[in-house]
Amino acid sequence: MSDGLHVIDKASFRQIQVSVDADGIAVVLLDVPDAALNPLSDALVAEFDAALDQIVARSDVRGVVVGSAKSAFAAGWNLIELLTMLESVADARELHAQTPGLSKLLRRLETCGKPVAAAINGLALGGGLEIALACHYRVLAEGSAAKVGLPEVLVGLLPGAGGTQRLPRLIGIEAALRIMLEGKPVAPAEALKLGIVNELAPASDVMARAKQWLLASPEATQPWDRKGGGAVPGGRTLLDAGIGTLFMLAVPAATRTSLRNYPAPAAILASVYEGLQLPIDRGLAIERRKFAQLAAGPEARNLIRTMFINKGKADKLARRPAGVAPKPVQKLAVLGAGMMGAGLAHVAARAGMRVAVLDTTQALAERAREHAQRTMERDLKAGRIAAGQIAEVLERITPTTEYETLAGSEFVIEAVFEDRAVKAEATRRAEAVIAPDAVFATNTSTLPIAGLATASKRPQNFIGMHFFSPVERMPLVEIIRSKTTDESALAWTLDLAKRLGKTPIVVYDSRGFFTSRVFGTYCYEGQMLLQDGVKPALIENGGRFAGMPVGPLAVMDEVSLELQYRVVQQARIDLGADFREPVSWAVLRKFVEDLHRPGRKAGAGFYEYPADGRKFLWPGLAQHYPVQAAQPALAEVKRRLLYIQSLEAARCIEEGVLTSPADGDLGSILGWGFPSYTGGVLSLIDTVGVAQFVDDCRRLADAHGPRFEPCVSLKDMARQGKRFHAAA
């Protein structure tokens, strides 16, 4: 018996390993060089296809096992390769012609005439799971790391290599739709229960178990290739009980969630419904067409570029200065035990650091431990942590009122009240006791770092870290360097951000920095729409239908109109003759000074907040801001609310506040919920087209004022045919 595929030169295989054992079982191992998760690619598909040619031709091969030489099975397509392809095609027709590879290969695999088993030793997502679904038998490793799933919806796509056709035929439409529409991975026990896999085994045994099945099953056929096409669990047509109701409910639910901004959920539903009425080959053809239509649209490109490629680079600290040696933080000092400080202490303690939390009284300082305990008790109840972790984390948190307790801290995060004098006093007292080379980070959302750094005796180690609340859930940290911040301080701050599990962006010092400054324009524009006589409900729905988490008036209530009022007044003092009132200052001042409706905490703002019911828009708005007879179209409201943010982000690039468009896009999506289908504030301009965006802004400026006038750099880009993001 042959011990290898002598008909193929093994040196030609770079993405896979191929061999035949003494029992006649051909083993194909995915083994992408320099990659832990076996990303799929055209090169891998071509090699697998060539190997399959030879496997099928050999009479001594009794069966095939597909496995992995890595600790993971496969985690989907190489997204950089995919984005490059998406940006190079003209339309869906061209894309459809270029992307049959994996789908065609997997159909060949399951109909090759030999039984095929998948030995899934670890994570199998996207195309990785689709490979497994094309096998006649699937053995999955036990343990939390070996999850399976089809997350393509998260990048604006549908499973394009048979996932929308094989999974529902295997486990039923309802369960398959849930997996594909949510995009969440499934744990091994659930995968077995649903029927995604046939067997669980220790990771070290999955290959042996797969071979055992092959030797005992010399003939195997997929259910959908049997006579009659195979029964789909639960039915497949509107004539089957429950199927009509399922789709009648699923379509509006998907629309309600996506608000028609994300086409992938509707395409998944259509692919499943249309494809399951037909034989598998015609279903696969429908799937490929719908995949091409999605991939040719901007949403997939935007999501892939920002939320996966650029986020991955940020998480790997692409902005970290080279040549600075790491300095891991063992002891962190947090000044202030309010909501922000308590959240920071909890996150840091869970990351393994010892944390000293200082406040003006011991009772206030103890709030940090109390907050951590409450949060972890909820996590314990939800099964996210083990019981022993609570005491372990709490032991690392030391509440104190004495600055001497901070001695030896390598890093300080100041999260005290947003007042210059209070922050200056905290800076001076902390610097007197912390390590000589410690970094001092101020958590502020608006106050310029250069001004706060004047209280420091070592301004080269002074930096801004703008966290978002609640700290435990919000993924972003905006790192602000001033003109005095040196490279080492920036590098160590980025290191800490990564250890805290945050995605960092780096911006340069200015009033409001990037996130607060740009997000503020959304709130201001909502108030300007109100002042223009637009119906309040249309304003709020315009924000939501544009893809923002909540409407601009609701946001102002939550943030507090009074807080924003104080920020403006502080800017007036700081800037003197250079101060310019926000365009919506008249509305803000009226609500705070005249109407005494400062926001949700006071129970009155743009909304009413009854104690025994849901909030609703304050009926008195119509008295102060009469609704005009002619109302703008929803599309125009959406355009005003989104474009004003993108335009301000472009100004940040022009002024040097932002030096990376990728940071601007990530900051907007992760920081305040700018719609991800756009790719972020600057990707939105690229998607519209810079020249078209400039023309639209000029029209808006003519209609609504100079705040929409495009900045000089945008006009230059339009003339030169440039964009913010170069091709992948």
Is 429 part of a structural domain of the chain?
Answer: yes
**Two tokens, residue 632:** 């703008």
pLDDT tens per residue across span 592-620? 999 999 999 999 999 999 988 899 999 99
Q: 136 and 33 in one domain?
A: yes
Q: What is the pLDDT of residues 8-24, one digit of tens each?
A: 456 578 999 999 999 99
Which residues are part of the catalytic machinery? 466
Query: What's the CA gap between 129 and 76, in Å, rounded?
Result: 8
Q: Do 432 and 396 share a structural domain? A: yes
Across residues 86-108, what is the average pLDDT?
A: 77
The partner residues of 335 in beta bridges, in order of sequence, read 358, 414
Whole-number Å distance between alpha carbons of 723 and 676: 19
Compute the average pLDDT of residues 406-416: 95
Nearest to 350 by CA among 503, 522, 500, 136: 500
Taking residues 252-273, report their average pLDDT.
Answer: 92
Give the Cβ contact number of residue 388 at 10 Å: 9
What pLDDT is attached to residue 599? Answer: 94
Length of the chain: 728
| 422 and 489 assigned to the same domain | yes
| Average pLDDT value for the chain | 93
- The predicted pLDDT at position 7 comes to 47
Name the amino acid, one letter, at 724: F
Picking from 613-617, 649-653, 663-667, which range would have the lowest pLDDT averaged per residue?
613-617
Write the pLDDT tens digit of every residue in 501-535. Answer: 999 999 999 888 999 999 999 999 999 999 999 99
Residues 486, 356: one domain?
yes
Measured distance CA(25)–CA(66) in Å, rounded: 10
User: Which helix (H) or strand (E) is 163 found in, with range?
Assistant: helix 163-171
Contacts of 247 (CB under 8 A, 6+ apart): 238, 269, 273
For residue 582, being part of any structural domain is answered with yes
Amino acid at 82: L
Last residue of a domain, one of 509, 533, 551: 509
Residue 242's pLDDT is what?
85
Identify any residues that bridge with 74 across adjacent strands, giving them in sequence order.
Answer: 124
62 domain-assigned: yes
CA dist 117 to 22, 64, 200, 212, Å? 17, 6, 13, 10
* CATH number of 420's domain: 3.40.50.720
Q: How far apart are the first and last CA of the chain?
A: 48
Cα distance between residue 297 and residue 86, in whole Å: 9
Are 478 and 610 contained in the same domain? Answer: no
Residue pLDDT, tens place only, 115-130: 999 999 999 999 999 9
Residue, of 58 and 257, whose pLDDT is higher: 58
**CB-count burial class (<10 Å; 0-12, 13-18, 19+) for 452:** buried
338-385 pLDDT per residue, tens? 999 999 999 999 999 999 999 999 999 999 999 999 999 999 998 888
Mean pLDDT value across residues 639-648: 98
Of 2-6, 175-179, 191-195, 646-650, the poorest mean pLDDT is in: 2-6
Q: How high is the pLDDT of residue 1?
A: 40
Same domain, 502 and 527: no
Q: What does the pLDDT read at residue 84? A: 86
Place of tokens 């099945």: 213
Tokens of 418: 């947003």
656 pLDDT tier (thresholds 50, 70, 90): very high
Pairing label, strands 354-358, 331-335: parallel
pLDDT at 143 (0 to 100):
87
523 and 490 within one domain: no
pLDDT digit string (tens) for 684-701? Answer: 999 999 999 999 999 999
499 and 622 part of one domain: no
Give the CA dihedral 517, 522, 523, 527, nearest 10 degrees: 130
**C-alpha pair distances (Å), 245 with each of 239, 262, 418:** 10, 23, 54
Tell me whether residue 684 is in a domain. no
In a domain, 268, yes or no: yes
Among 86-100, 114-128, 710-724, the minimum mean pLDDT is found in 86-100
Question: Which pLDDT value is given to residue 212?
Answer: 96
Q: What percent of the chain has pLDDT over 70?
A: 97
Among 296, 313, 345, identify where a domain stops: 296
Domain end marker among 280, 296, 312? 296
Q: Does 576 lie in the same domain as 452? A: no
Cα dihedral value 591, 593, 597, 599, nearest 10: 80
Q: What's the number of domains the chain is made of?
A: 3
Same domain? For 502 and 531 the reply is no
Provide the CATH number for the domain around residue 601. Answer: 1.10.1040.50
Look up the CATH number of the domain holding residue 127. 3.90.226.10
Q: Are residues 212 and 233 in the same domain?
A: yes
Q: What range defines the domain where residue 345 resides?
A: 331-509
My answer on whether 350 and 394 are in the same domain is yes
Lowest mean pLDDT among 90-99, 251-260, 284-293, 572-581: 90-99
Nearest CA to 320 out of 516, 482, 481 is that of 481
Cβ burial 260-272 (10 Å sphere, 16+ → b, else e): eebbbbbbbbbbb
Answer whether residue 320 is part of any domain.
no
Question: Which neighbouring-strand residues pair with 463?
Answer: 441
Q: Which residues pair with 399 in a beta bridge?
A: 357
Q: Is 670 a member of any domain?
A: no
pLDDT of 511 reads 85
Count of beta carbons in the 10 Å neighbourhood of residue 461: 25
Q: What is the mean pLDDT of residues 38-44?
A: 93
Q: b vs e for 491-524, b when ≥16 Cβ sit within 10 Å of the residue's Cβ?
A: bbbbbbbbbbebbbbbbbbbbbbbbbbbbbbbbb
Please give the pLDDT value at position 727: 64
Which pLDDT does position 92 carry in this prediction?
Answer: 59
Q: What DSSP letter does each residue of 586-650 carry, written as one string?
A: HHHHIIIIIS---BGGGTBSSEE--TTS--EE-TTHHHHSPPPSSPPPHHHHHHHHHHHHHHHHH
